[in-house]
Structure 1
Amino acid sequence: MRFADDAALQAHLRGLLEATLPKDRWTHEGHVAATAALILLRPDIVPERDLRRLIMRLNDSHGVPNSDTRGYHETITRAFLAAIRDALSKDDATLPGHARVNALLDGGVVGAGKRWLAHSWSDAVLFSVAARRGWVEPDLAPPPYPIGG
């Protein structure tokens, strides 16, 4: 998933905000792109406060239950939000939003998918009900980004 221009990125974000984003675009990259777009394009929305509700609503529209085993996952969301904020704080802020998001998708911890989480969390902890429902501190090592608990 890459964005040809800012209009395409805005359309992707609008799909999250309106719970109309097609399920096939709600991949790991789709999550990252939408979160980055929130940060870059919607200063009126606070991802730490609002992302849970937005993701759960979109999951509901796709028929994906937000349960103890599927759907929204608080710890993973918060970890990636921290990674995305960190990457955006270090990139070329003079580039258009879509170029910044494309670069984010291509590199670093964010572009690596969820594999980097294994450095900080054991599977038993990360995939626990507690971690899905709320923030759970890492049990193996500090994450590479400061994450508010």
Structure 2
Amino acid sequence: MDDRQFLNAFETYTLPFDEWTHRAHLRVAYLYASQFDLPTATDKMRAGIKAYNKATNTPEELERGYHETITVAFMQLVTAALQQSGPFPNSEAFCDTCAVSLNKPVLLKYYSKDRIISMKAKQIFVEPDLQPMPVIN
């Protein structure tokens, strides 16, 4: 699926749930970050994930559903990676290049496990407690 088809499938909730992987999250984040400033891209990502989760009946639990801090932090990391290493021809190329540095455990460089898996971090953005997030220009 090319980027246009992929983003359309996400935004119309037709992307199969089993294809809503970490890589898929990164693809959407990249597509928004490459088109919008960070606040707008983050707002679109936040709204998109919440709507997709609702459409796919994803339960809101501590370890499932929408997580504010993870969303905001990954938008910052994706934007920083795009600024440092981009541009890329498409979201797949971005993921192929940045997959290792943007794997799920990368947040543990910035957040202690207790902080990132807290209910507070799920509901509102909490700042990292181990080191600051990369600077966005």
User: What interval of TM-score do these two structures reach, taking the shorter chain for normalisation?
Assistant: 0.7 to 0.9
How big is each residue's C-alpha offset from its partner over 1:25-47, in whole Å with a ceiling of 9 and x where there is no partner? 1100000001111233568x922
Q: Could you list the runs of 5+ residues in structure 2 that have no partner in the other structure?
A: none
> What is the CA RMSD across the aligned residues, in angstroms?
2.4
Match of 2:34 in 1: 40
TM-score relative to the length of structure 1? 0.77
Match of 1:125? 115
Alignment of 1:1-149 (within 5 A): 8-41=2-35, 46-93=40-87, 95-96=88-89, 98=90, 101-108=91-98, 111-143=101-133, 145-146=134-135
The CA deviation string for residues 69-121 of structure 1, in whole angstroms up to 9 with x for no partner, is: 4211111111111111111123343x53x2xx223212347654111111111
Task: Give identity over the alignment, percent.
Answer: 30
TM-score by length of 2: 0.83
Cα distance in 2 for residues equivalent to 1:41 and 1:84: 13
Q: Are the structure 2 counterparts of residues 78 and 42 from structure 1 closer, same or farther at C-alpha, using a change threshold of 3 Å?
A: closer
Alpha-carbon distance, 1:50 to partner: 2.5
Change (3 A) 1:18 1:110: farther
Q: What 5-or-longer segments of structure 1 have no aligned partner? A: none
Number of aligned positions between the proteins: 135
What is the distance in 1 between the residues matched to 2:99 and 2:127? 18
Residue 19 of structure 1 contacts residue 58 of structure 1 at CA under 8 Å; is this kept in 2?
Answer: yes
User: CA shift at 1:10, angstroms?
Assistant: 1.0
Distance (Å, rounded) in 2 between the aligned partners of 1:21 and 1:42: 22
